[in-house]
Chains A and B, each alone.
Chain A
Amino acid sequence: MSTSRLSARSGEVIDRTKTVPFTWNGRSLSGYDGDTIGSALLANNVRIVSRSMKYHRPRSYMSMDYWDPNALLQVGDEPNVRSAHRRLESGMDVSAQNVWPSVDRDIKAANGLVGRFLTAGFYYKTFINPQRLWPLYEKVLATFAPGGKVDLDTPHGYYDKRYAHPDVVVAGGGPAGMAAAISAAEAGASVMLVEHEYGLGGHLRWGDDSDRAIVAEMSQRLIDLGVEVLVDSTVTGRYDDNWISIAQRSHPGVIERLIKARAKILVVAAGLIERPYVFSGNDKPGVMLSGGVRRLVNMYGVRPGSRAVVLTANESGDQAAADLEAAGVSVVELVDARNGGGVTAVEGSPSQVESVTLADGSTREADLLVTAVGWTAPTSLLNMSGDRPSYDASAARFFPSAPPDTVLATGGMVGDGTLDELVGHGTATGQLAAARAAVTAYRLQSTTARALPVDGPEPDWPSDQRAPLAHRQHPELYRSSTHGMVDFSEDVSSKDLVAAAAEGFDSVELLKRFTTATMGPSQGKLETVNTVAVLAEARGETIEQVGTTVWRPPYAPISLGGLAGRIFEPVRRSPMQDWHEAHGATPLVAGAWIRPDHYGDAAEEVRNTRRNVGIIDVSPLGKLDLQGPDVPQLLNLLYTNKWSKLPVGGVRYGIMCAEDGVVLDDGVTGRLSDNRYLMTTTSSGAASVWEWAENWLQTERPSWKVDVTPVTGAYASINVAGPKSRELIGRLAPELDLDPERFKYMQVRTATVAGVDNCVVWRIGFTGELSYEVHVPAGYALHLWLQLMEQGLDLGVAPFGIEAQRIMRLEKGHFIVGQDTDGLTKAPSTGMGALIKMDKEDFVGKPELAWELENSDPDVLKRRPAVVALQTLDPQIVPEEASQLVRGTTTEIIGRITSSRMSPTLGRSICLGQIEQQYADAGNIVTILLTDGRRIEAEVQAHHAHYDPEGERLRG
Chain B
Amino acid sequence: MADRSLRSRRNGNGKGPERYSAWGLLRKGLAQENWPRAWREVPLRDTYDAVIIGGGVHGLATAYYLAVNHGITNVAVVDKAYIGSGGSGRNTAIVRSNYLTPEGVAFYDRSLELYNSMASDLNINVMFSERGHLTLAHNDGAVRTMRWRAEVNKLQNIDSSVIGPDEIKKLVPSLDTTSDARYPIMGALYHPPGGIIRHDAVVWGYARAADHYGVEIHQKTEVLDILVEGGSGPDGKGPGGKVTGVRTSKGDISAPIVVNCTAGWASLIASMAGIKLPIHTRPLQAAVTEPVKVFLPAVVVSGSLHVYVSQTDRGELVFGAAVDPFNNYNIAGSLDFTEGLAGHILELMPGVSKMRLLRQWAGLCDMTPDYSPVMGFTPVEGFLCDVGWGTYGFKAGPVSGETMAECIATNQTPKLIAPFALDRFPEGTLVGEKGAASVGH
- Contacts A80-B290, A125-B21: A855 and B123 contacting too (C-beta < 8 A)? no
Neighbouring B residues of A568 by C-beta, 8 Å: 343
Contact at A565–B25, with CB atoms within 8 Å? no
Let me know if A499 is at the binding interface, CB within 8 A: yes
- Contacts A258-B339, A553-B333: A509 and B82 contacting too (C-beta < 8 A)? yes
Let me know if A10 is at the binding interface, CB within 8 A: no
Neighbouring A residues of B338 by C-beta, 8 Å: 553-554, 558, 563
Closest CB of chain B to A497's CB: distance in Å? 11
Closest to B362 in A: A552
Cross-interface CB contact of B351 among A153, A554, A565, cutoff 8 Å: A153
Contact at B313–A142, with CB atoms within 8 Å? yes
Cross-interface CB contact of A882 among B25, B30, B147, B341, cutoff 8 Å: B147
A661 CA / B382 CA spacing, docked (Å): 34
Closest CB of chain B to A512's CB: distance in Å? 10
- Contacts A128-B124, A151-B351, A886-B155: A822 and B435 contacting too (C-beta < 8 A)? yes
Contact at B360–A554, with CB atoms within 8 Å? yes
Neighbouring B residues of A589 by C-beta, 8 Å: 138-139, 182-184
CB contacts under 8 Å to B, within A812-852, are 818-819, 822-824, 848, 851-852
Binary CB contact string for chain B from 17 to 32 against chain A (1 if under 8 A, 0 otherwise)? 0001110111011101
Binary CB contact string for chain B from 307 to 329 against chain A (1 if under 8 A, 0 otherwise)? 00000011100000000000000
Let me know if B233 is at the binding interface, CB within 8 A: no
Binary CB contact string for chain A from 545 to 568 against chain B (1 if under 8 A, 0 otherwise)? 000000011100111111111011
Contact at A560–B151, with CB atoms within 8 Å? no
Let me know if B432 is at the binding interface, CB within 8 A: yes
Which of B68-76, B126-134, B263-271 sits within the interface?
B126-134
CB contacts under 8 Å to A, within B116-161, are 116-117, 119-120, 123-130, 138-139, 141, 144-145, 147-148, 150-152, 155
Contact at A124–B125, with CB atoms within 8 Å? yes
Contact at A563–B347, with CB atoms within 8 Å? no
Neighbouring A residues of B85 by C-beta, 8 Å: 509
Which of B45-53, B245-253, B292-300 sits within the interface?
B292-300
A510 CA / B292 CA spacing, docked (Å): 25
Which of B33-41, B385-393, B403-411 sits within the interface?
B33-41
Binary CB contact string for chain A from 124 to 149 against chain B (1 if under 8 A, 0 otherwise)? 11111101001100100111011111
A499 CA / B124 CA spacing, docked (Å): 17
Let me know if B8 is at the binding interface, CB within 8 A: no
A498 CA / B32 CA spacing, docked (Å): 13
- Contacts A504-B39, A507-B219, A523-B358: A239 and B335 contacting too (C-beta < 8 A)? yes
Cross-interface CB contact of A240 among B34, B332, B437, cutoff 8 Å: B332
Neighbouring A residues of B434 by C-beta, 8 Å: 823-824
Cross-interface CB contact of B119 among A128, A554, A562, A591, cutoff 8 Å: A128
The contact size tier of chain A is 35 or more
Contact at A152–B295, with CB atoms within 8 Å? yes
A689 CA / B360 CA spacing, docked (Å): 33
Closest CB of chain B to A263's CB: distance in Å? 13
Contact at A561–B361, with CB atoms within 8 Å? no
A126 CA / B358 CA spacing, docked (Å): 29
Let me know if A78 is at the binding interface, CB within 8 A: yes
Let me know if A206 is at the binding interface, CB within 8 A: no
Closest to B207 in A: A504
Neighbouring A residues of B292 by C-beta, 8 Å: 79-80, 145, 147-150
Neighbouring B residues of A119 by C-beta, 8 Å: 25, 28-29
CB contacts under 8 Å to A, within B326-361, are 330, 332-335, 338-339, 341-343, 345-347, 349-361
Contact at A931–B182, with CB atoms within 8 Å? no
Contact at A523–B359, with CB atoms within 8 Å? yes
Neighbouring A residues of B303 by C-beta, 8 Å: none
CB contacts under 8 Å to B, within A516-574, are 516, 521, 523, 552-554, 557-565, 567-569, 571
A499 CA / B85 CA spacing, docked (Å): 21
Closest to A516 in B: B314
CB contacts under 8 Å to B, within A45-87, are 77-80
Closest to A848 in B: B428
Contact at A558–B335, with CB atoms within 8 Å? no
Let me know if B291 is at the binding interface, CB within 8 A: yes
Closest CB of chain A to B224's CB: distance in Å? 21
Let me know if A604 is at the binding interface, CB within 8 A: no
Neighbouring A residues of B64 by C-beta, 8 Å: none
Closest CB of chain B to A804's CB: distance in Å? 15
Closest CB of chain B to A556's CB: distance in Å? 9
Cross-interface CB contact of A560 among B201, B345, B432, cutoff 8 Å: B345
Neighbouring B residues of A818 by C-beta, 8 Å: 141
- Contacts A125-B21, A258-B339, A880-B147: A79 and B129 contacting too (C-beta < 8 A)? no
Neighbouring A residues of B232 by C-beta, 8 Å: none
Let me know if B422 is at the binding interface, CB within 8 A: no
Sample (12) of A-B pairs whose CB atoms are under 8 Å apart: A117-B29, A122-B25, A123-B127, A124-B126, A125-B125, A145-B294, A146-B314, A516-B314, A559-B355, A560-B346, A589-B183, A896-B148
Given A131-B117, A559-B353, output 12 extra A-B contacts at Cβ < 8 Å.
A98-B293, A117-B25, A123-B125, A125-B125, A142-B315, A243-B335, A245-B335, A509-B81, A823-B432, A851-B428, A882-B151, A896-B151
